[in-house]
Amino acid sequence: MKGMQKENIKITKKNKTKKDVIAHRKSCDAKGTGLSHYILMDKKIK
Amino acid sequence: MTTKRQTRKDNGTCASSGSYINTGNGSTFMPIDIGHPEYIALIEPDTAFWSLVKHEKLSSVLTEGKLFKAYKKKAGVFTEEMDMLRFGLKPSAVYFNPTEKCNLDCPYCYIPQKMRHDGEHMSEKRLIKALGLLKDYFKRTLPKDTLPQIIFHGAEPMLNRDAVFAGIEQYSEDFRFGIQTNATLLDDSAVDFLKSQNVSIGISLDASDAAISDRTRINWDGQGVHTKVIEAMERLRGYNGWSVICTITNKNMRHLTKLVNFLHQKEVPTCLMNIVRCTLPSSLEVKPNDANAFKYFMAALERTYELYLETGRKLPVGNFANILLAIIAPTARRLMCDISPCGGGRCFFALTPNGDLFPCSEFIGLSQFKGGNLFKDSVEKVLTSRPFSRVTDRKVEDVEPCSRCAIRHFCGSPCPAEACEMNGGMEQTGAFCEFYEEQVRYAFRLIADDKHEAFLWDGWGDDTKKTFTMDLF
């Protein structure tokens, strides 16, 4: 529970810093195969 | 790299050196009101590059050039990335319909009613043979370390349970399996088997209350199946590999927030809340208007955020998460409906019980989009057939107003089946436009407020690398 509270505080603090310009982008191998009728999550299945 | 999107500036006939934005060969940056009190978006549509600029800084950003110089250094990389994503992928998944039949008669289904009522099962023998042919195809086309996906889909695949389960058992080393089901036949033994095989399970539920859900999720006698679905959800609780799909219609949109509460309480790992597809005319009866649908959809998304703050547990709404990813990491998309060309016929294709191949399940009721038959034709030949290329060649650049829309690569102008059937041609838009506009605007507001990670699933960025960062104070 403590961990969750810390996360909440982190989110609130983050919002206080406002930059003049925000721009970022990430890249990876494209592997998307889902469609509006189905999504395959790549979470580890128990 | 020569691409289908090659433009005049590549052929050397224009003398402009591209020093200035928005003139000559300079990059095109379009300012977009995102409805945020402090920020406006600047978007370069072709490369899906974006920045958020404080309103009072817009003039200096446009004239000082720091942002644009940084962008220019990366523009080639971004262009290649988008070209690869849009034109360079090979199929790695098959939506496999093991039966035409369904035990439900939902009004928005894209499989024709007669087919769902009177259709045929694929025999176990044919299903095993089909999986063998698909295994051979993927062996020819995919890298050795890539496991292709087979998603049993419908109609209702669990009506042909014995054949499906036999296929999963026999080919468990060759494919990652998934199943999308209405959940009415997910009894204890079915769930135990699917869990034991690590099958990804998607189930359908349109509302938390039976009275609402049973407006659309009904059997052939008009009886709702809500209770059965809730029973199946209890069986799935604690399993990581399941998700819930809700179809947003005018029958349930007012109750989406309540559904979020319910799904979160049931510890559903992820969900989709998709606006109804209007490929077949029966869907039009439950089609909501864009503005109303988005109002309720956004309220549901906001509720997932509140629940995350309250509990520390996310409920990612996959289709919205995908819009966020389209913005912050275009290649990390999981769904391929909101990129143009869409994933139909190029990232995946659909197989019917008699072996017919279509670019996507959405086209199964439209015989003119049959590209061939798995038992008679090579998949490679089918992928280049005219019915497939009609879909794989549909680009936002050829659709109005998408060709001049700044967010064309965040939305992708879905869906070609809708465009063709509802609006009369591939060069038309699909059933919704403003719904996607508003989603993108909302996504940018979340990024501006640095809240967006709360809407994405944990670990989404594990395999990504940063390709651009600029935070100017």
Q: What is the pLDDT of residues B433-464, one digit of tens each?
A: 999 999 999 999 999 999 999 999 999 999 99
Select the more confidently predicted residue: A42 or A13.
A42
- CA pair distance B126, B339, nearest whole angstrom: 34
**pLDDT mean over B20-28:** 90
All residues of chain B having their beta carbon less than 8 Å from the beta carbon of residue A8 are 309, 312
Interface predicted TM-score (ipTM): 0.90
- How far apart (Å, rounded) are the C-alpha atoms in residues B194 and B241? 10
pLDDT in the model for residue B351:
98
Q: In this model, does residue B11 exceed pLDDT 70? A: no
d(CA A39, CA B202): 8
B 399-458 residues inside an 8 A Cβ radius of A: 414-415, 447-451, 454, 457
B472, B42 Cβ separation under 8 angstroms: no
Number of neighbouring beta carbons within 10 Å of residue B380? 10
Distance CA B205, CA B212 (A): 10
Question: What are the residue ranges of helices labelled H in B270-363?
Answer: 290-311, 318-328
- Give the pLDDT score at A5: 45
Task: Inform me whether the pLDDT recorded for A1 exceeds 60.
Answer: no
> pLDDT (tens digit, 9 = 90+) per residue, B350-368?
999 999 999 999 999 999 9
pLDDT in tens, B245-287: 999 999 999 999 999 999 999 999 999 999 999 998 989 999 9
- Percent of chain B having pLDDT more than 90? 91
Spell out the residues 6+ positions from residue A18 whose beta carbon is closer than 8 angstroms to its own.
Answer: B38, B54
Q: Average the pLDDT over B387-391 and give the result.
A: 98
Residue A8 predicted with pLDDT over 50: no
What average pLDDT does range B58-70 have in this prediction? 90
* pTM (predicted TM-score): 0.92
Residue A17: its pLDDT value, please?
Answer: 67
How far apart CA A30 and CA B88 sit, in angstroms, is 10
| Arithmetic mean of pLDDT, B130-150 | 96
- Mean pLDDT taken over chain B: 94
pLDDT higher than threshold 90 for residue B414:
yes
The answer to whether the Cβ–Cβ distance between B335 and A39 falls below 8 Å is yes
- Over pLDDT 70: what percentage of chain B? 97
Report the chain A residue with the minimal C-alpha distance to residue B333.
Answer: A32
Predicted confidence at residue B472, as pLDDT, reads 64
Query: What's the rounded Cα separation, in Å, for the pair B432 and B419?
Result: 10
Q: Which of A15, A21, A34 sits opposite B334 (nearest CB)?
A: A34
With tokens 């604690």, the residue in question is B238
Residue B372 has pLDDT above 80, yes or no: yes
DSSP assignments along B211-233, one per residue:
HHHTTTSBBTTS-B-HHHHHHHH
Q: Which of A8-17, A25-34, B132-141 has the lowest mean pLDDT?
A: A8-17
* Confidence check: pLDDT of B31 > 90: yes
Residues of chain B with C-beta less than 8 angstroms from the C-beta of A44: 240
